[in-house]
Structure 1
């Protein structure tokens, strides 16, 4: 067990005792733990977004609200100026390719709620289906 020093009494305690060592010390420890959790989640989300960032000219996966039909997704891809590679109404995902650097932004304007790299999305969808099918 690691020793912790109480801020007020300057005594060494176990972690459980440390949390109860005056309101200042316990509050300080909880703030540090909370900050660590929030910081870790933010870093994980940032790493995911960097890995999933769409690359112009490569397949892009556009996730639409649940229940969006294939014709609605096709219309959104066409409005954004892309070419459809695959439509999946069950997952409300359209895999497409667009030439412009602002193609991902155009998909958001056309109604997509998430636009990520197509190859990453396809592997995630395959994995989810294999887990669902047992």
Structure 2
């Protein structure tokens, strides 16, 4: 049985559907919420360079806004950005610009497919 994520009361009542997602209302605290799965930042990070998808395409795939995808890309887990112990790398380097003043630089080791560097590029106006 589903319980309220705020007051942990049960049962909760179905309260309509919004954007193809079932909404619920707590009968005790009267808050409205969904049991939508949380986004996995590691999966978004892997999908971004591998599929060469834009933030808009990822937003459509994960049913959220492009701004949310941008936030997840900005807070990429540093554990995914392994520094290499190899003496040489075969890198694929790509920068995707959004608007005229913001872009994301990604460096990927071609044989392993692991990301080694991610940074934001900003066009500073003087």
Q: TM-score range by the shorter chain?
A: under 0.3
Give the TM-score normalised by structure 2: 0.22
Higher RCO, 1 or 2 (CA under 8 Å, sep at least 6)? 1
Please say which structure displays the higher CA radius of gyration.
1
More strand by share: 2
Give the TM-score normalised by structure 1: 0.21
